């Protein structure tokens, strides 16, 4: 039986909370985690506030197997994530020589003190290579820290993806012949009997017929775990559909 691994995503930035910028990083990471069989349990968006970042990181890193942070590792005053991570892990910022060399190599004669600040990283962290802009992300234990720029984040996620744990997530989908209000009690009974299977109900409009239909999903670690729950619920729905 496959191991079960859990994850959380922390999106950091006032620009996300104000609506000035739309977050697409969480969606990308969520999809890649699902492919890898890692169960994403939390996605949270928080402001550029030191105490909030520190508190969230400390809560999540002790609760979930892996944590991903996006945003706030640049060199402007509102970029607090590097320092917040150091505080959360009980360490301090130091000039990382490897990161400094990366920045010097990328900027060349354009390097300045402000850009070099992005090499001030939590002591003991491990770097995540950034081929696109020179400034690396970093890893502290089970926390992966990325920039907020989607293009950079995606490229850097691909660097660390092979080292993430691999679990198993199986999702099977079926269309119900009746609406969810007619089978909600049946769904509840199946969910109570099979708590290791997550059942989802999602109404959607069929554009071809302009009629509503309902998609049922069953999610667990294996298809074998899903089978008895699926069989019970679909059979009960079919019987009720005959009388609907």
pLDDT at 1 (0 to 100): 47
48-52, 84-88, 182-186, 207-211: range with lowest mean pLDDT = 207-211
Spell out the residues 6+ positions from residue 55 whose beta carbon is closer than 8 angstroms to its own. none
Query: Would the pTM count as exceeding 0.75?
Result: yes
pLDDT at 213 (0 to 100): 84
Confidence band, pLDDT 50/70/90 cuts, at residue 3: confident
In tens, the pLDDT along 91-123 reads 999 999 999 999 999 999 999 999 999 999 999
Q: Cβ atoms within 10 A of the Cβ of 28, count?
A: 16
pLDDT at 243 (0 to 100): 84
**Which residue is listed with tokens 């293009």?**
151
Spell out the residues 6+ positions from residue 180 whose beta carbon is closer than 8 angstroms to its own. 187, 201, 203, 214
In tens, the pLDDT along 15-28 reads 999 999 999 999 99
pLDDT at 4 (0 to 100): 87
8 Å CB contact between 153 and 25? yes
Helix (H, G, I), strand (E, B) or coil at 26: helix
Residue 153 phi/psi, 5° resolution?
A: -60, -45
- Please give the Cα distance from 60 to 42 (Å, whole number): 9
- Please give the Cα distance from 186 to 195 (Å, whole number): 14
In tens, the pLDDT along 64-74 reads 999 999 999 99
Helix (H, G, I), strand (E, B) or coil at 190: helix
In tens, the pLDDT along 201-243 reads 999 888 888 878 899 999 998 999 999 999 999 999 999 998 8
Of the chain, the percentage scoring pLDDT greater than 70 comes to 99
């Amino acid at each position: 039986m496959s191991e079960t691994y859990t994850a959380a995503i922390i999106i950091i930035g006032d620009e996300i909370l104000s609506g000035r910028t739309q977050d697409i990083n969480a969606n990308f990471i969520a999809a890649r985690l699902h492919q890898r069989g890692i169960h994403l349990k939390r996605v949270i968006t928080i402001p550029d506030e030191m105490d909030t970042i520190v508190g969230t990181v400390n809560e999540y890193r002790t609760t979930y197997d892996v944590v991903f942070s996006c945003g706030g590792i640049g060199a402007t005053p509102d970029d607090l994530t590097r320092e917040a991570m150091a505080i959360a892990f009980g360490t301090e910022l130091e000039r990382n020589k490897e990161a400094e060399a990366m920045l010097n190599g990328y900027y060349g004669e354009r390097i300045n003190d402000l850009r070099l600040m992005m090499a001030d990283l939590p002591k003991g962290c491990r770097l995540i290579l950034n081929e696109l802009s020179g400034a690396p992300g970093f890893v502290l234990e089970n926390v992966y820290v990325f920039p907020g720029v989607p293009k950079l984040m995606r490229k850097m996620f691909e660097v660390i993806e092979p080292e993430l744990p691999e679990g198993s997530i199986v999702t099977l989908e079926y269309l119900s012949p009746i609406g969810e209000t007619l089978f909600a009690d049946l769904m509840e009974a199946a969910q109570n009997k099979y708590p290791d299977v997550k059942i989802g109900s999602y109404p959607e409009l069929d554009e071809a017929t302009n009629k509503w239909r309902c998609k049922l999903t069953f999610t667990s670690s294996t298809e074998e775990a899903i089978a008895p729950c699926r069989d019970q619920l679909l059979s009960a729905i079919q019987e009720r559909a005959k009388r609907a």
